[in-house]
Structure 1
Amino acid sequence: MLKQAERIEFLLNLPLFQDLDSPEFLRRLAVAMEEVTFAAEEPILAQGARGDLLYLIVSGSVQIHIGTTVLEQLNPSDFFGELPLFSPDPPQIAIRAQTPTHCLTLSQLQLYGAIDVAPTIALGIIRVLCQRIHRLNQVIASLAGA
């Protein structure tokens, strides 16, 4: 379990929250987050399953995959689980812990509330989604032999 000061320090160092200028808001967010731990190779989100949490990786790594094809590996300070929070369509990917992984989580309601207070969070999520789309386009091109 992370102490409150460790949670705040972790959040302060995340690009997703770097533009926040309210230490009190960040403290409240840190207190509201839940912690979850996954064993190596443990499934986190099955393909087509609706998730309801945003996961912020504190330690460990996860793989995003479709079947046996790994699309991306995420590491500490990365986040995942955002698509089901913003889209009605079930995700076509699966996520599993590659190594023992420790995360902080935000529910959809908590995330939406955080975005209401600090819209720059939404911009951070959009930036990461654009980067992921670009990397996935590269994976698709390599699979297609282009």
Structure 2
Amino acid sequence: MDTYEPFLRNFILFSEMSDSDLIAISALLESSSSHNGEIIFMQGDIGNNVYFIKKGKVKAVRNNVNGDEQILEILQPGDVFGEVVLFGIDEYPATAIALDEVELVFLSKTRFKEYFTANPQIAWGMLRVMAKKLYRAQRKIENLGLKDTRARVATLIIDMLIDFGETENELVLDINRQEMANYIGTSRETVSRVLSDFKNEDIIEVNGNRIFIKDFSALKEWT
């Protein structure tokens, strides 16, 4: 292979690599696809691959001993997941589930480590990936630990609008009310009530899984 696919430049890990380096790593990548609701890997599975999202969205979830689901993050094109297996963790710490039609490329842990050793410049890209994930985790901890449920819902809507919004004011959700509740550590009834309150206050308009922000400033005040 003497070319590489342009979408690889969308990944922080690869964005500053030379063309020759991208061509080399492209030769190592494999492709896969998953349908909406399909499990890509399970929490506790042996971690053999690092995945890169080319198309679609993926949710990473953990289940407690009672089987309750906690959404850790929602990933989109340009995101990497499963990378923890490169750092001495043998099992995937979460389950990865496709939220729509997903196209992935992946690299085996063994090949990744070999490439990493031969090309230490990729370490900077990996540090940027980990910094982005740490920032997201800190934001979520702040949202869960320091804010009331109204603020949590408002923060979730704004964060998802920034990441996934179709326009600057309109968001189509890939998760249902229960999943929203799981993401911010509350109940489905509470999420529905807060959305209804925001709607009654003329802050948002809700139509099924579509949310239109009518008063962004008012919503922002609750975060």
Q: TM-score range by the shorter chain?
A: 0.7 to 0.9
Q: How does 1:6-25 map to 2 (within 5 A)?
A: 7-21=4-18, 23-25=19-21
| Partner SS for 1:90 | coil
**Contact 1:64–1:70 (CA under 8 A) maintained in structure 2:** yes
Structure 1 segments of 4+ aligned residues over 4 angstroms from their partners: none
Of residues 23, 48, 51, the one that matches 2:44 is 48
| Partner SS for 1:11 | helix
Residue aligning to 2:219: none
**Contact 2:30–2:106 (CA under 8 A) maintained in structure 1:** yes
Q: How far apart, CA to CA, are the structure 1 residues paired with 2:13 and 2:135?
A: 18
| Partner SS for 1:17 | coil
Instruction: Kindly report the root-mean-square deviation, in angstroms, between the aligned alpha carbons of the 2 structures.
Output: 2.2
Q: How far apart, CA to CA, are the structure 2 residues paired with 1:138 and 1:17?
A: 25
| Partner SS for 1:106 | strand
**Contact 2:47–2:90 (CA under 8 A) maintained in structure 1:** no
Inter-CA distance 62–18: structure 2 relative to 1 (3 Å threshold): same
Q: How far apart, CA to CA, are the structure 2 residues paired with 1:59 and 1:47?
A: 22
Count of aligned pairs: 142
Give identity over the alignment, percent.
27
How far residue 27 of structure 1 moved from its aligned partner, in angstroms, is: 1.5
Could you tell me which amino acid in structure 2 is paired with residue 141 of structure 1? E
Q: How far apart, CA to CA, are the structure 2 residues paired with 1:88 and 1:30?
A: 25
How far residue 24 of structure 1 moved from its aligned partner, in angstroms, is: 3.0
1:104 aligns with 2:100: no
How far residue 89 of structure 1 moved from its aligned partner, in angstroms, is: 5.0
Q: How far apart, CA to CA, are the structure 1 residues paired with 2:20 and 2:104?
A: 22
Gaps of 5+ in 1: none
**Contact 2:12–2:129 (CA under 8 A) maintained in structure 1:** no
TM-score between both structures, scaled by the size of structure 2? 0.57
How far residue 91 of structure 1 moved from its aligned partner, in angstroms, is: 3.6
Q: How far apart, CA to CA, are the structure 2 residues paired with 1:13 and 1:62?
A: 17
Q: How far apart, CA to CA, are the structure 2 residues paired with 1:129 and 1:13?
A: 16
Q: How far apart, CA to CA, are the structure 1 residues paired with 2:137 and 2:98?
A: 20
Return the structure number with greater relative CO, CA threshold 8 A, min gap 6. Answer: 1
1:114 aligns with 2:108: no
